Structure 1
Amino acid sequence: MPDKARVDQFIDAVVNGDHVEAIRNFYHETATMQENLGEPRVGRDALMAHEANAMARVAKVETKPVTTYLVDGDSVAIRWTFIMTDKSDVSRQLEELSLQHWDGDRIAREQFFYDSATAWHVVDA
């Protein structure tokens, strides 16, 4: 079960842009990550590779400071806001809810929920 300080460290790593390192430092070796009801990605190395590829496709990703999250035993819920600027300088925003199951001080399972119809809407062109 994570303590609040450990969850705060994870959130800070993501907000500061260390997405791949956050996976390395906060996820179990066999962790899963799932978008809405899609097939889960499995294994920390695969999660890190997927995140590195996503970061390489864009010019910049900004993670807004988190104002809402809950820690209840092994369950954590985080409301994220991401702004991605692509290589043609168009910025898009995603509002996302992440539900996590922690095993000790590492994330074992994570599932993201967002409205795919409005995800990544243009916020600045």
Structure 2
Amino acid sequence: MPSRETLEAFIAAVESNDHVAAIRDFYTEDASMQENLTEPPRQGRQTLMDHEAAVLKRVKGVRSRCVRPVLVAGDTVVVHWIFEFDLPDGRVRRIEELAHQTWKGEKIHRERFYYDPAQMK
């Protein structure tokens, strides 16, 4: 179960928009992420970091915000996020999602994202 301090530090890292560093610092070596249950999970912290870096290369910028409260029940944490991506053509894409996390101590071990795919259009 993450401490309140660790959870707040993780949220601050994501809200600083350094998503790759947040993965590096707050995920287990064998962590996994899965999108909407539509694709197989990505496995391994380095793979997660590489994927995130590739996503961020495709946009001009991103703004990340946690919508409170964060739900915590033992090792399970649910975070409501809003991300605004500045696209190369000048548009802004707003994505709202729930991140369902399973923590091992002070690190995220498993994470699934739930969002409406229509937001990606």
Q: Which amino acid aligns with 1:22?
A: A
- TM-score, normalised with respect to structure 2: 0.95
Contact 2:20 2:52 in 1 (8 A): yes
For residue 64 of structure 1, report the CA deviation from its aligned partner: 2.2
Q: Which amino acid aligns with 1:64?
A: R
Over the matched positions of the two proteins, sequence identity in percent amounts to 46
Q: Distance in 2 between matches of 1:92 and 1:120?
A: 7
Where does structure 1 lack aligned partners over 5 or more consecutive residues? none
The DSSP-based 3-state class of the residue aligned with 1:17 is coil
Contact 2:33 2:41 in 1 (8 A): yes
Partner of 2:72: 71
Q: Distance in 2 between matches of 1:77 and 1:112?
A: 10
For residue 65 of structure 1, report the CA deviation from its aligned partner: 4.1
For residue 72 of structure 1, report the CA deviation from its aligned partner: 1.2
The equivalences for 1:16-95 within 5 A come to: 16-37=16-37, 38-95=39-96
Deviations 1:30-51 (A, max 9, x none): 0000000121000000000000
Alignment RMSD (CA, Å)? 1.1
Count of residue correspondences: 120
Whose helix proportion is higher, 1 or 2?
Answer: 2
* Shift in alpha-carbon separation, 1:20–1:5, aligned structure 2, 3 A: same
Q: Which runs of 4+ in 1 moved over 3 A?
A: none
Where does structure 2 lack aligned partners over 5 or more consecutive residues? none
